[in-house]
Amino acid sequence: MDEILVRGGRTLSGTITANGSKNAGLPILAATLLADGEYHIKNIPNLSDIRTMIKLLRTISTEAEFTDHELRIITKKEKNHEAPYELVKTMRASIYALGPLLARCGEAKVSFPGGCALGARPIDYHLEALHKLNVTIQIKHGYIYAKTKGLQGAQIYFENKTVGATANVMMAAVLAEGTTVIQNAACEPEISSLGDFLNKMGAHVEGHGTESITVQGVKELHPVYYSLIPDRIEVGTLLVAGAITNGKITVTNCMPEHSGIVLNKLRDIGYTIEIEGHSITIYNKGKRKPIEISTNPYPAFPTDLQPLFAALLSTIEGKSIINENIFSDRFMYISELQRLGADIKLSGSRISINGGNKLSGAPVMAPDIRAAAALVTAALASEGETRISRVYHLDRGYEHLENKLASLGADIERIETDALY
Active site residues: 116
Other CB atoms within a 10 A radius of the CB of residue 260 amount to: 14
Per DSSP, the three-state class of 15 is strand
Q: Which of 52, 51, 146 is nearest to 92 (CA)?
A: 52
125 or 143: CB nearest ligand UD1: 125
**Residues touching ligand UD1: how many (CB under 6 A)?**
20
165 or 334: CB nearest ligand UD1: 165
Quick note: the x/- pattern for ligand UD1 over 39-78, rule CB under 6 A, is ----------------------------------------
Residue 316 burial by Cβ neighbours in a 10 Å radius (0-12, 13-18, 19+): buried
CB of 58 to ligand UD1, least distance (A): 19
193 or 245: CB nearest ligand UD1: 193
Does residue 303 interact with ligand UD1 by CB under 6 A?
yes
Does residue 170 interact with ligand UD1 by CB under 6 A?
no
- Residue among 14, 114, 115, 122 that touches ligand UD1 (CB under 6 A): 122
Contact 382, 7 (CB under 8 A): no
Residues in the chain, total: 421
Amino acid at position 268, single letter: D
Does residue 29 interact with ligand UD1 by CB under 6 A?
no
Say how far apart CA 216 and CA 8 lie, in whole Å: 54
Does residue 301 interact with ligand UD1 by CB under 6 A?
no
- Residue among 44, 71, 165, 380 that touches ligand UD1 (CB under 6 A): 165
Contacts of 135 (CB under 8 A, 6+ apart): 102, 146, 147, 148, 151, 172
- Residue among 63, 86, 124, 276 that touches ligand UD1 (CB under 6 A): 124
CB of 233 to ligand UD1, least distance (A): 7
In order, the DSSP letters of 285-300 are -S-----EEEB-STTS
Amino acid at position 24, single letter: A
Does residue 26 interact with ligand UD1 by CB under 6 A?
yes
Does residue 150 interact with ligand UD1 by CB under 6 A?
no
Does residue 156 interact with ligand UD1 by CB under 6 A?
no
Contact 187, 164 (CB under 8 A): no
Say how far apart CA 215 and CA 180 lie, in whole Å: 5
Residue nearest ligand UD1, Cβ-based: 164
In order, the DSSP letters of 151-202 are -B--EEE-SS--HHHHHHHHHHHTTSBSEEEEET----HHHHHHHHHHHHTT
8 or 302: CB nearest ligand UD1: 302
CB of 382 to ligand UD1, least distance (A): 26
Does residue 131 interact with ligand UD1 by CB under 6 A?
no
- Residue among 71, 163, 172, 194 that touches ligand UD1 (CB under 6 A): 163
Contact 260, 40 (CB under 8 A): no
Contacts of 341 (CB under 8 A, 6+ apart): 357, 358, 359, 360, 382
In angstroms, what CA-CA distances link 207 with 129, 171, 199?
18, 15, 12
Does residue 18 interact with ligand UD1 by CB under 6 A?
no
Task: For CA atoms 397, 95, 30, 236, give the dihedral sign.
Answer: negative
- Residue among 52, 75, 134, 162 that touches ligand UD1 (CB under 6 A): 162
CB of 191 to ligand UD1, least distance (A): 9
Say how far apart CA 331 and CA 310 lie, in whole Å: 10
Site for ligand UD1 in 310-339 (CB under 6 A): 326-327
Quick note: the x/- pattern for ligand UD1 over 73-112, rule CB under 6 A, is --------------------x-------------------
Site for ligand UD1 in 190-219 (CB under 6 A): 190
First CA to last CA across the chain, in angstroms?
Answer: 10
CB of 17 to ligand UD1, least distance (A): 21
197 or 327: CB nearest ligand UD1: 327
CB of 362 to ligand UD1, least distance (A): 27
Residue ranges in contact with ligand UD1 by CB under 6 A: 23, 26, 93, 121-126, 160, 162-165, 186, 190, 303-304, 326-327
